[in-house]
Amino acid sequence: MSDENEIIDEMQTLPLDSWHRRKGARMVPFAGYEMPIQYEGIVVEHNWTRDQAGLFDVSHMGQLMVTGEKAAEELEKLLPGAIASLKPGRTRYSLLMAENGGILDDLMVTNATPWIEGDEEEGTEGHWGQVAYYLVVNGAMKWDDIAHLREHLDDDVTLTHMDDRALLALQGPNAATALNRVMRNVIDDMVFMDSVVHDFGEWPLRITRSGYTGEDGFEISVPAEFAESLADRLCAEIEVRPIGLGARDSLRLEAGLPLYGHDITEDTDPVAADLGFALTKKRREEGGWMGHEAVAKVLANGPAQKRVGLQIEGRMPAREGALVYLGDKQVGRVTSGGFSPTLERPIAMAYIDIALAEEGADLEVEVRKKRLPAKVAKMPFVPHRYHRGK
């Protein structure tokens, strides 16, 4: 093996690496980084997040900024959502689409165009600054995403990889209470999918009211050099504990949120993935985005299968890859599954033949040659508790 390869193969460390280790985390390789899988234990951390507030280090995710007058229309060539109508300070879930209608990645896009205050003495009026969109993409996909965006975005827009920033997610019913105590009057007016920039002392933060647990919460982008101090400030609050990747996975599964590379891939289209909400109505009809032709066909004819939830009887979990049957006929496949700490039973996501992808359908999942009764269930398995305001 050459030296060059050794460098490539080496796991990278995140800005909070030593912080995690001091907190007693068990570190595992994930998306090319050493990441904390758990601190105290997955179930305790899971339940803590559902009851209080958990702090997740998601700095492995890619933070990108797309700037330029034509940024919205350029992004709309690659994403099926309405970007141009996204107001400054608002965030939306979207997909990076492949030509074949498959999904290259899922992401959050925020209109980050800044408002420039006017100055009476200088006689300038308040106005919007340079058009900017802030993207958060999956850690494992970010290099591919960057290459894809660089290839397809017009030269007039600029893509910046903000690799000097960390990303922390504070999630749970007490996330707002805790964050409010740390920084006053910053999040008061924010509802789900609002995003603001805030200078907390000398730390320039971007705070977005969003997350991947189904709970109310915030994702805070912070310069890497201040990440540890911010994590300490947040964890000093009585409601907040650090939470690992293990609980992040069980929380998102309960919330019915797909995991890229498992529940959605280049081989799944947004209709089958039940992510139709990410296809803005007007853009579905008008097209003009990569993959539209293929997706339009699925919309017209209906998908062959659909992503649904499964409630599995008993206590034995069905994992990714488990096959789903109706009698002798294979009718689907589990794409992620595990034990739900909240419901204390196994749950899963699966792609099921469309005729059977109805809530209440009785099916069987095969695990180690045993058939487990499974029922198609409504997702989310655990209700979302986003803060949508009045």
Partner 1 sequence: MARYFTDEHEWIDLEGETATVGITDFAQGQLGDIVFVELPDVGAVVEKGKDAAVVESVKAASDVYAPLSGEVVEVNEALEDDPALVNSSPEDDGWFFKMTVSDKAELEGLMDDKAYKSFCDGL
**Which residues contact partner 1 (rule: CB under 8 A)?**
37-38, 41-44, 46, 246, 249-250, 315-317, 319, 338-339, 341, 346, 368
User: Smaller CB distance to partner 1: residue 180 or 342?
Assistant: 342
What is the distance between the alpha carbons of residues 133 and 95, in angstroms, rounded to a whole number? 14
Q: Which is nearer to partner 1, 42 or 107 (CB)?
A: 42
The CB-of-215 to partner 1 minimum distance in angstroms stands at 18
And the tokens for 147? Answer: 């290459």
Q: Which is nearer to partner 1, 26 or 70 (CB)?
A: 26
Give the nearest distance from C-beta 273 to partner 1 in angstroms: 24
The length of the chain in residues reads 390
Closest approach of partner 1 to the CB of residue 46, in Å: 8
Shorter beta-carbon distance to partner 1: residue 40 or 144 = 40
Element (H, E) at 72: helix 71-76
Distance of closest approach, residue 246 Cβ to partner 1, in angstroms = 5
Q: Is the four-CA dihedral 170, 172, 173, 174 of positive or negative sign? A: negative
CA atoms within 13 A on the CB side of 209: 23
Residue closer to partner 1 (CB basis): 16 or 318: 318
Residues 6 or more apart whose Cβ sits within 8 Å of residue 208: 91, 108, 110, 193, 194, 195, 218, 219, 220, 221
Written as one string, the DSSP assignment of 304-317 is SEEEEEEEESSSPP
- Give the SS3 label for residue 323: strand
Closest distance between partner 1 and the C-beta of residue 249, in Å? 7
- In the complex, the smallest distance separating the C-beta of residue 6 from partner 1, rounded to whole angstroms, is 23
Taking the least distance from each CB to partner 1, the nearer of 15 and 317 is 317
Question: What SS3 class is residue 47?
Answer: helix
Report whether 172 contacts 217 (CB < 8 A).
yes
- The sheet that has 217-223: what strands, in order across it? 195-200, 203-208, 217-223, 165-171, 53-57, 240-242
